[in-house]
Structure 1
Amino acid sequence: MMKKSFACLITGLCTLPTSAFADSPYFSLKDGDGFKRFSISAGWLHAMPQGSANPVNINTSVAEGTSSTIGDVSTSSVKGAIDRSTASGEFWYNSINALDSLGFQTLPGVLSGTGTINGLSNWQAQGTGLEADNVDTLGIMANYHFTDNLSLEIKAGIPPKVDIKGKGNIYAPLSGNATPVDDGSALGGLIGQIISSVGGDIPLKQDIHITDLTQGGKAASARAWLPAVELHYQFGKSGVNKFRPYVGAGVMYAYFNDLEMNSGIEADLIKAGHMIQNIHDGKAGAALDGKTSSADPVVKLKATDTFAPIVTIGATYDFNPNWFAVGSVSYSKMNNEAKIYVTDRNTGKELIQANTKIDIDPLITYVGVGYRF
């Protein structure tokens, strides 16, 4: 729909001279006052994004206060998840550490009990984000000159492959508590209630590492389609001034496809999907141990389209009435949103959704050679 809208806009603007102003000498397709109506140039286009990364927002399907049977779990994972800032936490850490020292590396489900999970429903990962890298491509600029000074320019070029750099590590802020012995049975529940009533629950607090967005040099890549339409005013006069500065303003449209995610980050997100599903399956211990679940997680990356204003300053230099050199600097206040989905291929259920705003804000330089006709 967005692509159709932009195509309609271009078509309307290009037909403007031949319809609405057909009887005007300024908008006629015939040459007038010593200038040529059409020009086209090609050259080197270099885009330098100026924006900075924004935190990644994460949502999962594990609601606050979700209760999950822990099941068998390694003693090392339990120790890593215990909040030792409380007396209860320190007691349980020392107790489980003693079992670990005696060679009991697994805490059986009959002892681990049931956990109440908080912190995973949604959070913002501070110090993380995505940034677009510099890019070079062949630029093409086509102008229709309404008058010797006023023209309409369409900017285009070969859509470049843009690297998206990652920033920071994403952690899941797990918190909650575990009620030992409450394994779901009547007796276990009774014993667990007694333990809980005297303040004996195991307090949980752990920042679980999900992924490093900086791994592999880039988090993702995408092909960028960045056409723009600008209205230009050029100073000077054809046939009199060889060097003619100009200013312009208009709108740029950004569309991204062929998105590819870093394979290491993708693998980490699949593991995170298994962690979420294990909690739903009543296997919180397996989630802590990083074991696979009943799900078949698949990762999808999407980027939103966007329109943005663009301004330009530049100049042309005439070699002769037809051939000229052109150079310009443009800036666009542009941002879009990257969205990541982790879903279970078996059921279609969404396990994790993450999104972040990418401030692109490109500074675009262009140097080319053109021809007027």
Structure 2
Amino acid sequence: MKQTSAAVLLSLSAISLAHAQSAGQWMVNAGWMHMAPQDSSQPLTVNALGHTSTMEGTGASVADTDTFALTATYFVTDHIAIETILGVPPTLHLNGTGTLASLGELGNARSYSPALLAQYHFGEPSARLRPYVGAGVSYVWFNSVQLSAPLSSGQFLFSPATGTLLEGPTSASLSKSFAPIVNAGLTYNIDSHWSVGVSLSYVWLSSRATLTTHSAVGTVTTTAKLKIDPVTSFVSIGYRF
């Protein structure tokens, strides 16, 4: 009888461990991601007619945004995991501040930012609740850049000194960059496969905006560095296999 009971207990233990967050397992999470930029920007620098000048008081900020995201996590050991983050590229909306505040939205762009992180998961693999911390890097680029009318026409370059001389059709680009990430989260295991999770990440992200205006007196180049640094929260449902 004792031998039978011991065998049953060993079998149950083996089943429990087989479905734990342990070495060799994958976990896929899908959910909603909210980005809250902690942003700042430098004034616009204008290069025209062989001279460089700064448009003092100009600035821009990035609005909060939401998107659908996916993560795939592989457990290298019972505690160390590698996670990749993908999802639907969010649209970032850039608004004028300072002397540009009256222009409202300056433009928008799609942001692509796949990321790779290394994580440490605390607690036993079979625990219901497992907190974790992680760090990694994202590669960020932008496309589908659209400018509002005051920027696409070069109207923002009007000044008492030059009048409308520097205005003209304008296009924009945003620089690519690698962005370090740190994050922390919590996973609650509902059963052997399903779980829910929450996480919070901070990303050190900067980009240089370049506006190219084709004016009557030649090409005018306007640049500004924008620090975005979003705090990103992620609420998700996970499946482990």
TM-score, normalised with respect to structure 1: 0.55
2:225 is aligned with 1:357: yes
How far off is 1:154 after superposition? 0.3
**C-alpha distance in 1 between matches for 2:218 and 2:61:** 26
Note the alpha carbon deviations across 1:264-320, whole angstroms, 9 max, x for none.
Answer: 232343875xx9xxxxxxxx9xx65x4xx7x99321101001101100010100001
2:134 pairs, out of 248, 252, 255, with 248
- State the match for 2:112 in structure 1: 225
Could you say which structure has the higher helix fraction? 1
CA 1:32/1:261 → structure 2, altered by over 3 Å: closer, same or farther? same
- State the match for 2:46 in structure 1: 58
- State the match for 1:39 in structure 2: 27
CA 1:350/1:307 → structure 2, altered by over 3 Å: closer, same or farther? farther
Q: Is the 1:252–1:310 Cα contact (8 Å) retained in structure 2?
A: yes
Could you say which structure has the higher strand fraction? 2
2:145 pairs, out of 251, 259, 275, with 259
2:69 is aligned with 1:139: yes
**C-alpha distance in 2 between matches for 1:33 and 1:300:** 53
**C-alpha distance in 1 between matches for 2:188 and 2:69:** 18
Note the alpha carbon deviations across 1:217-266, whole angstroms, 9 max, x for none.
Answer: 31110001111100011001122x10100000000111100001111232
- Give the gaps of 5 or more residues in structure 2: 1-17
Larger Rg: 1
CA 1:38/1:59 → structure 2, altered by over 3 Å: closer, same or farther? same
CA 1:270/1:131 → structure 2, altered by over 3 Å: closer, same or farther? closer
**C-alpha distance in 1 between matches for 2:55 and 2:167:** 25
CA 1:296/1:265 → structure 2, altered by over 3 Å: closer, same or farther? closer
- Give the gaps of 5 or more residues in structure 1: 1-30, 64-120, 170-212, 276-283
Secondary structure class of the residue paired with 1:159: coil
1:336 pairs, out of 202, 207, 210, with 207
CA 1:361/1:246 → structure 2, altered by over 3 Å: closer, same or farther? same
1:303 pairs, out of 174, 177, 181, with 174
How far off is 1:321 after superposition? 1.4
Runs of 4+ in 1 over 6 A off after TM superposition: 31-34
CA 1:155/1:33 → structure 2, altered by over 3 Å: closer, same or farther? closer
Secondary structure class of the residue paired with 1:44: strand
% identical aligned pairs: 30
CA 1:57/1:40 → structure 2, altered by over 3 Å: closer, same or farther? same
CA 1:137/1:34 → structure 2, altered by over 3 Å: closer, same or farther? closer
CA RMSD of aligned residues (A): 2.5
CA 1:264/1:302 → structure 2, altered by over 3 Å: closer, same or farther? same
TM-score, normalised with respect to structure 2: 0.84
2:183 is aligned with 1:312: yes
CA 1:160/1:250 → structure 2, altered by over 3 Å: closer, same or farther? same
Q: State how many pairs are aligned.
A: 222
- State the match for 1:19 in structure 2: none
